[in-house]
Chains A and B, each alone.
Chain A
Amino acid sequence: MTIKSWLKPVVSGVAISAISMASLAAEPIKVGFIGSMSSDSGLSGLRAAEIAIDEINNTGGVNGQQVELVTADTREDPTEGIKAYEFLAESAEVDFIVSSSIDDVSLAWMPRFLEYQIPTLDTWASYVGIIDMVKDDPEGMKNYFMNVASDEALATLYINFGADVLKAKMGFESVVILAEDTAFGEAITGLVTEALAPVAGIEVKEVIKYDITTNDFAPLFSKAEQSGADFIYQISTVNAAGLSAQYVKLQVPLAMTGVNVAALGHEYWTDTGGAGAGISTLSPIPAVGLDLDPVSAEFVATYQSRYTSRPVMPHFNGFNVYHGLKQALAAAGEVGGFGDGWSAAMEKQDLKLMKDGELWLRYGWWQHDEIEPVTGRTYPHNIRFDLSEPFDDGAPSMVVVQWHEDGKPYVVYPEKYANGEFVLPSWVPAK
């Protein structure tokens, strides 16, 4: 007799007594959360999942079944991510997984997803290659969804920002790119050099690559200054706070914009000790500084009454987890679980969040054969986005956010969402 067969009667005995005590039938639905528990973005996602599940359980659960949350930490490390995914799939035996994993970690557990086929929703990773996998293998990837706009969509809208604001308004004609030496840095550098120049008419003077372990950016900023460019385009995901803090400490006399992941968090100002002024970054929406629709605002109110430690405001992926998890559970409710029909039911989910009578945020999906008009390609199972004004088909894929010297983040682009102007830091001379 194996331990397993010996355990079975005991376990089922416990289960039976539990059932007889509770009038509700069946076992709970298990939702797994995978993300980095010690990072702000991971915590945002986790707390959003807790809130969403509590709300669903308080209104009777899904078809009478209660929902239970199981968590697994990735430490933003691909190997830990694989272990965490295996833990959720095999030890916890969850029915559904919501992920706040960064790109690298999602890519690492992707083979495990293909193996287990547990319905999974990504809320942080934006790598367009994963959406391409859905395109190429619709059957194998049928249970995978990504409710953040893929990075290609982010970059495309950013090029417009270059033309409309940097060139037209600020008069910037040339850029020096300061990019971390990563695959992400290389990809964005490629997009910017290939599209920013021809589309927006901004010349790329020089590309400076730096090691992600760089402590001292002073020589790099000197180099950037000497290039004679009008502004710096930074691509920084790993060491972002350090780079922007030194930018301010050294009072580099050039405007800086681009991708700065640290500035996506509400704690950015306190983390940098106020040394983050003038930095602008693209942000997937909902972003810091973005006004909220009533539904999301209520979620934030609940969040802030429940959690007092950082992050005090959920990151964009917190909103994605909250709305996305509810959609996933609703789809499961419609078809009686996370079985075969779930994917089709999930594809039909379409949450339109309105503010002042206008479409503000949309959690819907691109369908398999639907072509996005601007890029001319398909994005199955990616969140529905809109790349051009007036953004009436979906939310924009991103907004540009800038931290001003008053310590507040403002949305400066696109026009429809803007609540502030793109300005130069006080020490930077105007062009």
Chain B
Amino acid sequence: MKLIEKKHLVAWGAFLLIMLLMPNFVSNGTLRIFIFANFLAIFAISWDVLSGRTGYISFGHPFLIGIGVYATAIMSKRFGMPVEYSIPLAVLITMLGSVLIFLPALRIKGSYFALVTLAFMELAYQLVQVVRPDLTGGTRGIFGIKTLTRGAENGFYMSMSLMFAVAFSAWLIMRTQLGTALSALGMQEESLEGSGKSTTKLKLAAFMLSAFIAGLGGAFYAHYVGAIAPRTLFDINFLFTIIVAVLLGGSGTIIGPIIGAFFLTFLLEFLRPYLPGAGRYFIYGAIALLLYMYQPKGIYNLLEKLYQRWRGGAA
């Protein structure tokens, strides 16, 4: 079941094709919305690789993303480093930074692990304002970061290719024996140990993979928006958006977080004309809460069930 079949590749191909053709169908404004949806999808996949699979719930994911964002922003803006170097370095630094939340995971889990990661995010928020504000830009953040693209179409193609590459690679990895082992880690850590597997090694793999994706997404994000501020980066609202995207779409899958990210971003944009202010988040949050309470397995699962019922009805 976890193996790669032709129909999967056909589905991925169709997905890629639709995305590639998207600029022909929709306005530039919609493309801009897609760009943010793509980045959110990357962050959601990163969260899911760690928390959705292994069960180590991270409440501090913006901490990881923030490392990538700040690393590339500081290196390219303050030290004039070319983007070709600053982005890979930022990804590396994010992976190193993830060790900080990996070490606690060796001792604690569940609510306690979630709280530690939350504390790390808050700590990062405060430190970034105090330590070397000449580099981090303090409370105001960093402006005028070199942007990689100009125009909605280019931004769309860049974010879409990145999202697709991340999603497809993550999907491939999850189809390997490593993916099976990571899922097993989330289900029964003790049994996994009892089967002779080093859970430490597997956890490290999950953290590194998640940090890799977070750092990559964060670094490209920084070079897309061109401006970052700690208040909106190390923020509970941002964390909320990532987690909700995964849970709504369906955790433990790759397509789920993508569906969730697209659904949420477009919902927010759809509401903009009716509720221009922060009131949008009320409807957004209420929908998220209801879906989470009554459809905890997410939209993907719901679609799957509908599809099966439809097939059952047709047959």
Do A and B interact directly, with beta carbons closer than 8 Å? yes
Q: A79 to chain B: which residues have CB within 8 Å?
A: 225, 227, 229, 232
B147 at the binding interface (Cβ < 8 Å):
yes
In the complex, what's the smallest C-beta–C-beta distance from A76 to chain B, in angstroms? Answer: 9
- The answer to whether B277 touches A78 (Cβ under 8 A) is no
Q: Which of B201-232 contact A (CB under 8 A)?
A: 225-229, 231-232
Q: B138 to chain A: which residues have CB within 8 Å?
A: 181-183, 186
In the complex, what's the smallest C-beta–C-beta distance from A140 to chain B, in angstroms? Answer: 13
- The answer to whether B29 touches A86 (Cβ under 8 A) is yes
Closest to A75 in B: B278
B194 at the binding interface (Cβ < 8 Å):
no
- The answer to whether B232 touches A111 (Cβ under 8 A) is no
Q: B227 to chain A: which residues have CB within 8 Å?
A: 78-79, 82, 104, 107-108, 111
B25 at the binding interface (Cβ < 8 Å):
yes
- The answer to whether B139 touches A182 (Cβ under 8 A) is yes
Assembled-state Cα–Cα distance A115/B150 (Å):
7
The main secondary structure of chain A at its interface with chain B is helix
Stretch of A50-58, A87-95, A196-204 contacting B (4+ beta carbons < 8 Å): A87-95
Specify which of B29, B129, B143 is in contact with A108 (CB 8 Å cutoff). B143
- The answer to whether A91 touches B277 (Cβ under 8 A) is no
Query: Which of under 10, 10 to 19, 20 to 34, or 35 or more describes the interface residues of A?
Result: 35 or more
- The answer to whether A38 touches B27 (Cβ under 8 A) is no
A12 at the binding interface (Cβ < 8 Å):
no
- The answer to whether A78 touches B232 (Cβ under 8 A) is yes
Interface string of A44-88 (1 = CB under 8 A from B): 000000000000000000000000000111010111101100110
Interface string of B140-171 (1 = CB under 8 A from A): 11011001001110000000000000000000
Query: How many positions in chain B have a CB within 8 Å of any CB in the partner chain?
Result: 36
Closest to A108 in B: B227
Specify which of A103, A111, A238 is in contact with B147 (CB 8 Å cutoff). A111
B110 at the binding interface (Cβ < 8 Å):
no
B99 at the binding interface (Cβ < 8 Å):
no
A356 at the binding interface (Cβ < 8 Å):
no
A301 at the binding interface (Cβ < 8 Å):
no
Q: A182 to chain B: which residues have CB within 8 Å?
A: 129, 138-140
- The answer to whether B144 touches A75 (Cβ under 8 A) is no
Q: B126 to chain A: which residues have CB within 8 Å?
A: 211, 213
Assembled-state Cα–Cα distance A404/B216 (Å):
54
A78-B232, A108-B225, A182-B140 known; A86-B152 Cβ under 8 A: yes
Assembled-state Cα–Cα distance A180/B29 (Å):
37
Interface residues of A (CB under 8 A from B): 2-4, 37-38, 71-73, 75, 77-80, 82-83, 86-87, 90-92, 103-104, 107-108, 110-111, 115, 180-184, 186, 211-213, 238
Interface residues of B (CB under 8 A from A): 24-32, 36, 126, 129-130, 133, 137-141, 143-144, 147, 150-152, 225-229, 231-232, 272, 276-278
Given A91-B32, A181-B129, 14 more contacts at CB 8 Å? A3-B25, A3-B26, A72-B272, A78-B143, A78-B225, A79-B225, A79-B232, A104-B141, A108-B143, A182-B138, A183-B139, A183-B140, A186-B133, A186-B138
